[in-house]
A and B are shown apart, each in its own frame.
Chain A
Amino acid sequence: MAVEQSRRDFLGMAFGGVAAVGGVFALGAMKASWDPLPSVISAGFTTVDLSPMEMGEIRTIEWRKLPVFILKKSSDIAKNSARDVVVGDASYTVVIGLCTHLGCIPSWRPRTQDFICACHGGVFDASGVNTFGPPPRPLDIPPFKIDGTKLVLGEEGPEYAKLVGNA
């Protein structure tokens, strides 16, 4: 039918418009179905009791399926007031253990007291600051809250806000 519409097909466009509105709502429901499940979101909090840690000890714990390094700084490790997590009278490095370059997990070197990433040779110091190689920024600090001698990962406490503000 090569006949041209002499007048705009208003009813047709109105119908198309109403159909499109329905489509938008359907797409909204579909987007919601992709959202992480409530059980996944609620599992996003991990509590770590720091009291049994010894000076110079480093632990890797899992938070939101990611590795998190916790290093209780011994006296020979330099403090970093902009990045240290202070609990009681100890300073800790609390960082997400993924290289900020492309996501490999760096290894702690006890002799040189730093982290080295096997993938492309990036190096981070004991406070997680990038000192050599391709990593563009220090290791990320996860949201945390201090609860006595416990560290709650996933919740943003005032100490976290201060550190992030300093960065």
Chain B
Amino acid sequence: MAQFEKANGIVDWLDQRLAIRTLGRVLMTEYWIPKNINFLWAMGVVLITLFLLLVVSGIFLLMYYKPDVHQAFDSVNYTIMHEVAYGWLWRHIHGVAASATFLVIYIHMLTAIYYGAYKNGREIIWISGMMLFGMFSAAAFSGYMLPWGQMSYWAAQVITNLFGGVPVIGEALVVWIRGDFAVADATLTRFFMLHVLLLPLVIMLVIVIHFYSLRLPHVSNELGEELDFEAEAEKYKVGNKKESKVVPFWPMFLSKDFYIVSVFMVFFFYLVSFHFNFAMDPINFEPANAMKTPAHIYPEWYFLWSYEILRGFFFDIGPLSASDIGLAAFGFANVAFFLLPLLDKSPIVAPASQRGKFNIWFWVLIADLIILTVYGKLPATGANAWVGFFASMVFIGLFVALPFITKNEKRRGA
């Protein structure tokens, strides 16, 4: 048992019982972050802020939302939007924050790819991050169902139908997922459970793993330099703050984060109040009608690139049907990024600009993702279908080619 003495002050009292001073050093004041980083390194804290906004706004939505096919739409679009004081604010924050989360996840993810922060000891950070992307996608999908608008219903119908493509058990699987033969009340209530309880809990758990897995390999830096963190930390602690290549998480790193988050919030709340249709699609302001599919259905923008791969294969090849090929390609697309540490055969950690062929690979990937995203929204007819096909092939090709591109990478590729 620890030695307990008369405390001199509340901090000392807590420290004797909870070791808060040690905790503060480990988590904050002696958690060392490289100095040569740019604002892209703040995206993690921006994501935490957005997640906090989602949880808090979600709590208030949860007070008034009714998870029943007859009451859901009006509980959101009448009670919350018109009756509850500031109900519109929580709903708009929730919808815009969900969309903004994906924008920042993509920036965060592509930053990691650019700077090679998914390999050389950082594989678990990368994998836990990709798991978070998957879980946020599930949370977004389940959440979108809840207002029970036209898009809610038909997106649920189409996406649950996809599972019918699984061999042998497909049809039974679809009914099992839905809890009914068609998307119905049973479907709504179980996706409500997922969205409000299970997914948030698992997300929080994986966030903790994500943060923990960062510690031993340390946060990366702009040049991929390997730093001697102990030595640099010593320099800082004895007072050589300018020479040291590291800074403490608190107050250095966090003060810059707070600044970036504050500026981002100006833009965010502009969207919340004035420009939100991209996140709260008008089509979902029509109550769900099982007898009428809207003229245009499409997923939210952040799902468009993989949606386009799903429909990118529109012709049969030999014994394989177009829908089966598309489903397989879609399945591959969703796990492809997980495989990045495996597929990148080079041990070099450096910004893409210094990695020659990888730099080209990276910008082709960005262009391809943008083309897939935009074409995922357009009607898949005529020339658009062919663009989708080629863009999907490029995506698959990029990942197939990566091992070959990186196999013989030398230190200064330029």
A: which residues have CB within 8 A of B? 1-3, 12, 15, 29-30, 32-35, 37-39
Which of chain B's residues have a CB closer than 8 A to the CB of A34?
A: 63
Given A1-B30, A1-B248, A15-B258, A33 and B79 contact (CB-CB distance below 8 Å):
no
Q: A1 touching B79 by the CB < 8 A rule? A: no
Q: A29 touching B83 by the CB < 8 A rule? A: no
Which of chain A's residues have a CB closer than 8 A to the CB of B26?
A: none
Q: A33 touching B87 by the CB < 8 A rule? A: yes
- B21 closest partner in A (C-beta): A2
What would 11 A/B residue contacts be, using CB atoms closer than 8 Å? A1-B236, A1-B237, A2-B29, A2-B237, A12-B251, A29-B86, A32-B86, A33-B86, A34-B63, A37-B83, A37-B84
Number of residue pairs across A and B with beta carbons under 8 Å?
Answer: 32
Q: A33 touching B84 by the CB < 8 A rule? A: yes
B365 interfacial contact with A, CB 8 Å: no
- A3 closest partner in B (C-beta): B239
- A9 closest partner in B (C-beta): B251
Complex-state Cα separation, A35 to B63, whole angstroms: 11
Which of chain B's residues have a CB closer than 8 A to the CB of A37?
A: 79, 83-84
The residue in B84, B90, B237 that gathers the most chain A C-beta atoms within 10 A of its C-beta is B84
- The secondary-structure label for the interface of chain A is helix
Which of chain B's residues have a CB closer than 8 A to the CB of A33?
A: 60, 63, 84-87, 90
- B80 closest partner in A (C-beta): A33
B: which residues have CB within 8 A of A? 29-30, 56, 60, 63, 79, 83-87, 89-90, 236-237, 239, 248, 251, 258
7 tightest CB-CB pairs across the interface, nearest first? A32-B85, A1-B29, A29-B86, A37-B83, A33-B60, A33-B86, A1-B248
Which of chain A's residues have a CB closer than 8 A to the CB of B87?
A: 33
- B82 closest partner in A (C-beta): A38
* A26 CB → nearest B CB, Å: 8
Given A1-B248, A33-B90, A38 and B83 contact (CB-CB distance below 8 Å):
yes
- A11 closest partner in B (C-beta): B255
Complex-state Cα separation, A15 to B30, whole angstroms: 23
- B78 closest partner in A (C-beta): A39
* B53 CB → nearest A CB, Å: 10
The residue in A1, A12, A15 that gathers the most chain B C-beta atoms within 10 A of its C-beta is A1
Complex-state Cα separation, A8 to B22, whole angstroms: 23
Which of chain A's residues have a CB closer than 8 A to the CB of B85?
A: 29, 32-33, 35
The residue in A12, A30, A39 that gathers the most chain B C-beta atoms within 10 A of its C-beta is A30
Q: A29 touching B89 by the CB < 8 A rule? A: yes
Which of chain A's residues have a CB closer than 8 A to the CB of B86?
A: 29-30, 32-33
Complex-state Cα separation, A33 to B93, whole angstroms: 14
* B242 CB → nearest A CB, Å: 14
Complex-state Cα separation, A38 to B85, whole angstroms: 9
